[in-house]
Amino acid sequence: MKIGILGFGVVGQGVYELLKDKHDIVKILALHHETNDIFCDDFAAVMQSDIECMIECLPDVEIAYDYLVAALKKGIRVITSNKAIMARHYASLINLALENNTTISFEASVAGGIPILHRLQDMKEYDQIQMVEGILNGTTNYILDSIFTKNITYQQALKQAQELGYAEKDPASDICGRDVGYKAALLYNTIFDANVALKDIYIKGIEYLDEEALAFANRQDKVIRLIGHIDQNNVFVLPFFIGKDHILANIKENNNCVMIRSQNMASAYDIGQGAGRFPTASAICLDVSRPLRNQIINKATIKNEQRYQFYLSKQMIDQQFIAEYAGQGCITQLLSIDELAQIVKDQQVFIGGIYDQSC
């Protein structure tokens, strides 16, 4: 297969290493590399090189989107690991691929080296997927795991994550939950052939994690994990207090864990690296060998009716919604996500769900 690669950073180099002996790498767009027969600094040169498949590994979201559109309009197969592009432009890109009798694949945009999207598409052929949830961000999992296993502060754990390259210099997308929100949208859309966007998802991250919440977790013999949850009527991102004997509580460092529950099986867990050169490159190569099947998109209605008890680090809701007090915080009555969003007006409060293994 004749392949063009856009970008030659960490992921682009990994893709090249895995594909160079198996396919014809025709052109590589690399702005800071010496140009030659393969390397170029002009997207037009890639498009003029008779490629069959274009792999996008660029850091600039807006430029990358324009390149994806141009390739799809020309009928070229497209593969991307860019979750932000796919979550923001899901319907338009899928429809463009269908209109031009080609495909856009994005396995590497969710859970890195765990081939979750292909697995879900295969399962849909013979099974009914009831729920997918789990740890979908390695940065926040490293921070949370370090806090509980190393007995260090949130700021110390964040600094370590940055020093190790797990967290960006500006970690906002990770710690605010937006990164998991993108992935949750793509998981929902893949399972239900829908078009859920970031604005449709209730998202709470760990940026307001405080000593009160950590003390509550320790008293309850629990740890905290940032969880993305997807089922037919519910899509949300929320920290949860999880018992230490649960598998999600024991996902270490920057690993991801995805749990699938379906009609034909109880629960299955996939654990692995969520990012990195070769985990991401391997997911991209899976799309090269077997592209995702793009489907006509249906309308979706997210109700977020699933009910949990929630821990709030401040007692700032009406007493009728409080089940018990917990230091300076409180635990709510059973509430749905939508109900919670309506009664909690202070955005700068740490909120964590009380994880029920039967949910």
pLDDT of residue 206: 97
- The domains found in the chain, sorted by start residue, are 2-105 (3.40.50.720), 116-273+298-354 (3.30.360.10)
Report the chain's mean pLDDT, rounded to a whole number: 93
Distance CA 239, CA 49 (A): 47
Share of the chain above pLDDT 90, in %: 84
Which of the residue ranges 3-17, 30-44, 73-87 would you say has the lowest mean pLDDT?
30-44
Nearest-angstrom CA–CA distance, 190 and 215: 38
Express the helix, strand and coil content of the chain in percent, nearest 5 each. Answer: 40, 25, 40
HSE on the CB side for 4, CA within 13 Å? 28
Q: At residue 340, does pLDDT exceed 60? A: yes
Q: What pLDDT, in 10s, does the model give residues 139-160? A: 999 999 999 999 999 999 999 9
- State pLDDT tens for residues 247-288: 999 999 999 999 999 999 888 999 998 778 888 999 999 999
Q: Give the pLDDT of residue 193.
A: 94
Instruction: State how far the alpha carbon of 115 is from the alpha carbons of 36, 121, 258, 298, 357, in Å.
Output: 34, 11, 10, 24, 24
**What b/e sequence results for 190-229 when a residue is b if at least 16 CB atoms lie within 10 Å of its CB, and e otherwise?**
bbbebbbbeebbbbbbbbbbeebbbebbeebebbbbbbbb
Residue 100 has pLDDT above 60, yes or no: yes
Cα distance between residue 343 and residue 214, in whole Å: 23
Measure the CA–CA gap between 112 and 119, rounded to whole angstroms.
14
Q: DSSP secondary structure string, 101-123?
A: T--EE-GGGSSTTS-HHHHHHHH
Residue 357 pLDDT level (bands cut at 50, 70, 90): low
Taking the whole predicted model, whether its pTM rises above 0.75 is answered as yes
Q: Where are the alpha helices (DSSP H) in 31-153?
A: 43-47, 61-73, 83-88, 90-99, 116-124, 138-150
Q: Tokens 């992935």 appear where?
A: 183
Give me the amino acid identity at 235. V
